[in-house]
Amino acid sequence: MSSFDEMDAFESASLSARAMAARPAPYLDGLNPAQRAAVEQMDGPVLMLAGAGTGKTKALTTRIVHLMATGRARPNEVLAVTFTNKAAREMKNRVGQMLGQQVEGMPWLGTFHAICVKLLRRHAELAGLKSNFTILDTDDQLRLLKQLVAADGIDDKRWPARMLSGIIDGWKNRALTPDKVPAADAGAYNHRGVALYTQYQTRLKELNAVDFGDLLLHMVTIFQTHEDVLAQYQRWFKYILVDEYQDTNVAQYLWLRLLAQGHKNICCVGDDDQSIYGWRGAEVGNILRFETDFPGSHVVRLEQNYRSTPHILAAASGVIAGNEGRLGKTLWTEATEGEKVRLIGHWDGEEEARWIGDEIEAMQRGTRGMDPIDLDRMAILVRASHQMRAFEDRFLTIGLPYRVIGGPRFYERMEIRDAMAYFRVVTSPDDDLAFERIVNTPKRGLGDKAQQKIQVTAREHGVNLVEGARILLAHDGLGGKGGAQLRRLIDGIDRWNKMLRGPAMPVQTDSEVLDDESGPARVEYGPPEISHVELAEIILDESGYTGMWQNDKTPEAPGRLENLKELVKALEQFENLQGFLEHVSLIMDNESDDGGAKVSIMTLHAAKGLEFPAVFLPGWEDGLFPSQRSMDESGIKGLEEERRLAYVGITRAEELCTISFAANRRVFGQWQSSMPSRFIDELPEDHVEVLTPPGLYGGGYGAAGMAATASPKMQDMMRSDLHEKAAEANVYNSPGWRRLQARSGQRGVSQPSEARNVVIDMNAVSSFVMGERVFHQKFGYGAVIGIEGDKLEVDFEKAGIKKVVSRFLTGCDDVPF
DNA sequence: TACATAGTAGTTTTT
DNA sequence: CTACTATGTA
C-alpha cells in the first residue's frame, strides 16, 4: 500500500533546492572547523561525537539545511530522529529559521515514537492491528498486566505486576518478540514471564492497542519480515540523522540499521559521556560500536565548548575521567577563568536547603562584586525527586519563587486521564481499559461484582466491554440501581459516538480515502454536526464527571475542574478527538508555565540538554548520589552511569557551579547518616573552592573551611579527614545512635566500624525492651508488655492493649540514658 | 458497595 | 514520613 505518491503530494516542500544550491552557503560561515566537517561530510556513515555545550544542534540543523540546499534530498526525504519532542521542535524551528521559513515542514523529523506511529498506522495490518490503534500509556499497561497476572493465579505480593512490566519492557527494548526471548530469560518472573508476555501481546491485539515499546518493536518486526516494505523506506529516506545516539536501545538501533542498510547515509550524534538512560534500556555500546557497525565511517569530534568556564569544564573532566572505555574527548574553551566550582558540606538536608535558598537570594541581589543573576538563570539539580521537597518547603517559607520541572505532568493527572478515558471509549469502543476506568467513575453503584458480570458476558460473546454490558442489560442480567445507571452510561456512549461520527450516510463504494495522518478511512458518515470541543464538553457533562468534582468538597476539587477546563481548551488546537488523543499519548511534556522569573528545580535526568549560568548540585552523598540502588543492581556499570550523571550535572553550569552534601538526612522518617559522595573525591582540587558552612562551631566540620586556606596537599588530607569527622559527628549525635548506645549493654549493639554509609534504624527490633515507653502514630503513648519477634504487645494509655509491628513504634525521646 | 484502617514499600522516567 | 494497596467492617 503505498503511499509514496501521496507523500509526494502531501509533503513536498515549497523549497526549491536547486535554486538554493546555486547560491553560496552563508549558513556555513558561523561554524568551527569540526562542525563544518560534520556538516560537509554528507555521504556515508558519520559519527559526530559532540561533548556538552559544543554546538551539536547547530551542526545537526546546518547539516539538514546543507543536504537540502545542495539538492541531495528534499525535506520529506530526510529522516531525522530525536528522543524528545522538545528536541524535535527545536530542530524544526532552527531548520525553518535558517531557511527563512521556506520549508513547509519535515514530515520525518520527530521522535522515534512519533515516526514509528506514523509508519505503523500505514502498515498496521502487518502487525495484526487496525490503523486506528490506541497507544497505551504505562498506567494502562500495568493495569492490563495486573489482570493477566491475577488470572494466572500468581501472588502479586511475591511477583508484582510492576516487575513483569519491567521485564517485558526490557525485552521490547531489546526487540525481542515473545518467541525470541532467549532461553536464559526463561526463568523470568517465576518462569511465567514469557507465557504472560505472549498473553499480553495477544490481549493488546484484541484491544487494537500498542504500548510504547511496541511502536518500535512492531516496526522492526515488519521491516525484518517484509523486505518490500523495508526497501521502500530505504529508498525513500535518502539521509538519516540521529540525535542523542548514546541513548538508543537495541530496538532503535536495529530499526536505524535496517533503514540505513542501503545507502549507509547515516549521521549519528551523541556523547558517550552523557549516556544516563541505561536503566531504561539504552545501550552505550551502540555508540561505542559505531565504527565497527558502519565500516568506513567518519568520526568527527566537537570539542570546543561554548558554554562553561574552564574551571567547570576541568571539574567535569576530572570526574568523568574515572570511567573506563570512553571514546574520549577533550573539551576546551576560549572563555576566561571565572569562579572555581564551589563545595560545601552541611549538617543536614534542611540546612542545605536553607543555605542554598540564602545563596540564591544573595546571587539575585548581586553579591561579592558579582552581577545580579536572574532567578530564571539558576537551577537546582537533584538526583532523586524526593530531594525536591526540602527545597520546596524552604522556598515556600522564604517566598522564593521556584518551578519544579518534570513533576506530575498534566496528562498524568487523575482527572485528565479519566476525561480522556471517556473520549477513548467514545472514539474506539474496543478500548476496554478505558471503559474499565470510567464505568464506575463517577460512582454508579457498579462495584467489583457488577464489573465482573460485564467482563464475563463480554468474554462469553467474544465482544468488547461496551457490547458486553449491552448484552448483559438486554438479558436483564443486572438489576437495581446499578443496572439503570449502566443503561444510562451505555446510552450515553452510543449517543456521543453518533455525535462524533455525524449522521450515517449510505456507504459509498470505492471511496477509500487515504488520509496521511490516520491511514485509510472508509467514508460512511456525514460530517459531525457539532465540533469535537463541544462534544467533549457534552461527554464530561452528561456522564456526570464534571458534576462529580463540583460536588466534591476536598480542597483539590477546584483545581481539578480548572484542569478539565484547560483540557477542553487544549482540544481546540486539534481537528478531532482522535488527533488529540494521539498527541497526548506521545507528548507528555508540560511546557505551560506563567512567565515569572523562578528558580528551576529538577532531576539531573531532566536537566540534560539544558544550561544555566548558576547551578546547584545538592545531595552529593554516597548512597544518594551515586545511588545505592544503581550500584547494587548494576555494579560498576551502574556507578559509571552515576558518574556520567555527575558529569551531566556539572556541565549544565555556565558560570557558577555549587556542589553540596549533608551529613544527615531524614529518609522515610528515619535519620540516615552518609559520607560525602565519592565523586567529591574525584573533583580536581585545583578547580574547587571549599566553603565554610555558617553556624558551625569548632571541630568536626569546620575543617572544611580551614582547608580552603591550606596547601593543596593539606587540603586533600583535610578533605578526607572531613569524611571521618562527618561520620563521627553524625553517629555520635544522631538520636538513633544515642538510643542504641543507651541499650548496647542489654543488646550487645556494637559501634559500626565502617564509616561509609552508616544507617541507624531507630525503630530496629532490637531497640525495644520490656516496659519501654513507646509512641504510636494512631494509638499514642504506651508501654511494651510483650515481645514476639517483630510484633510487640503494647499497653496504650488511651487505646488499650494492642499488638503492633515494631516499625510503627517510636521510642520516646525522654527515655533516660 | 463503600469507607476506614492496617500494612507496605519507597530512584532516575525523553516516549 | 507519605502515598498507595489490601483487608475488614458497616
Do A613 and A373 form a contact (C-beta atoms < 8 A)?
yes
Residues of A annotated as catalytic (active site), given as ranges:
56-57, 243-244, 274, 652
The pLDDT tens digits of the residues spanning A381-400 come to 999 989 998 898 888 888 88
What element of type H or E holds A782?
strand A780-788
Looking at residue A705, what is its pLDDT?
Answer: 34
pLDDT band at A480 (very low <50, low <70, confident <90, very high): confident
Percentage of chain A with pLDDT > 90?
40
Architecture of domain A413-506+522-586 in this structure:
Orthogonal Bundle (1.10)
Q: Which residues of A are annotated as a binding site?
A: 50-57
Is the confidence at residue A496, as pLDDT, over 90?
yes
Shortest CA to C1' contact from A605: nucleotide: B12
Of A66 and A757, more confident: A66
Of A226 and A102, more confident: A226
Do A425 and A431 form a contact (C-beta atoms < 8 A)?
yes
Mean pLDDT of A443-464: 88
Please give the Cα distance from A452 to A150 (Å, whole number): 13
What are the sequence ranges of the domains in chain A? 44-131+230-302, 134-207, 341-401+597-690, 413-506+522-586, 772-811
Of A633 and A317, more confident: A317
Looking at residue A704, what is its pLDDT?
Answer: 37
Looking at residue A202, what is its pLDDT?
Answer: 93
Of A259 and A551, more confident: A259
Report the protein residue whose CA lies nearest the C1' of nucleotide C5.
A157
For chain A, give the longest Cα–Cα distance. Answer: 93
pLDDT band at A380 (very low <50, low <70, confident <90, very high): very high
Is the confidence at residue A753, as pLDDT, over 60?
no
Shortest CA to C1' contact from A386: nucleotide: B11
Domains A44-131+230-302 and A341-401+597-690 share a fold: yes
Looking at residue A644, what is its pLDDT?
Answer: 94
Strands (E), A411-518: 512-515
CATH class of A341-401+597-690: alpha beta
Of A176 and A781, more confident: A176
The pLDDT tens digits of the residues spanning A509-550 come to 443 333 343 333 444 667 777 889 999 999 999 999 999 888
Å: A778 CA to B5 C1': 10
List all nucleotides in chain B with at least one atom under 7 A from a protein Cβ.
1-3, 5-15
C-alpha cell, A509: 463504494
Å: A204 CA to B4 C1': 36
C-alpha cell, A64: 539538514
Fold adopted by A134-207: Arc Repressor Mutant, subunit A (1.10.10)
Report the protein residue whose CA lies nearest the C1' of nucleotide B8.
A157
Do A275 and A301 form a contact (C-beta atoms < 8 A)?
no
Å: A111 CA to C5 C1': 36
Å: A810 CA to C3 C1': 20
Å: A584 CA to B3 C1': 34
Please give the Cα distance from A565 to A806 (Å, whole number): 47
Å: A170 CA to C1 C1': 32
Q: Which residues of A are annotated as a binding site for ATP?
A: 50-57
| pTM summary value | 0.77
**Rounded to a whole number, what is the distance in angstroms from the first to the last CA of chain A?**
82
Please give the Cα distance from A702 to A718 (Å, whole number): 10
Is the confidence at residue A763, as pLDDT, over 70?
no
Å: A144 CA to C8 C1': 27
Q: How far is CA A240 from the centre of its chain?
A: 26
Task: Name A653's Cβ contacts closer than 8 Å, sequence gap at least 6.
Answer: A308, A312, A611, A612, A613, A614, A615
C-alpha cell, A201: 501481546
Task: Name A494's Cβ contacts closer than 8 Å, sequence gap at least 6.
Answer: none
Å: A25 CA to B7 C1': 68
Length of chain A: 817
From the number of C-beta atoms within 10 Å of its C-beta (0-12, 13-18, 19+), residue A567 rates as buried
Looking at residue A115, what is its pLDDT?
Answer: 95
Is the confidence at residue A127, as pLDDT, over 80?
yes
Report the protein residue whose CA lies nearest the C1' of nucleotide B10.
A668
Å: A702 CA to B6 C1': 46
Please give the Cα distance from A657 to A310 (Å, whole number): 12
pLDDT band at A249 (very low <50, low <70, confident <90, very high): very high
Is the C-beta atom of A777 closer than 7 angstroms to strand C? Answer: yes
Fold adopted by A44-131+230-302: Rossmann fold (3.40.50)
List all nucleotides in chain C with at least one atom under 7 A from a protein Cβ.
1-2, 6
A395: how many CB neighbours lie within 10 A of its CB?
20
The pLDDT tens digits of the residues spanning A695-715 come to 443 333 333 333 333 333 333
Shortest CA to C1' contact from A808: nucleotide: B7
Looking at residue A449, what is its pLDDT?
Answer: 84
Is the C-beta atom of A669 closer than 7 angstroms to strand C? Answer: yes
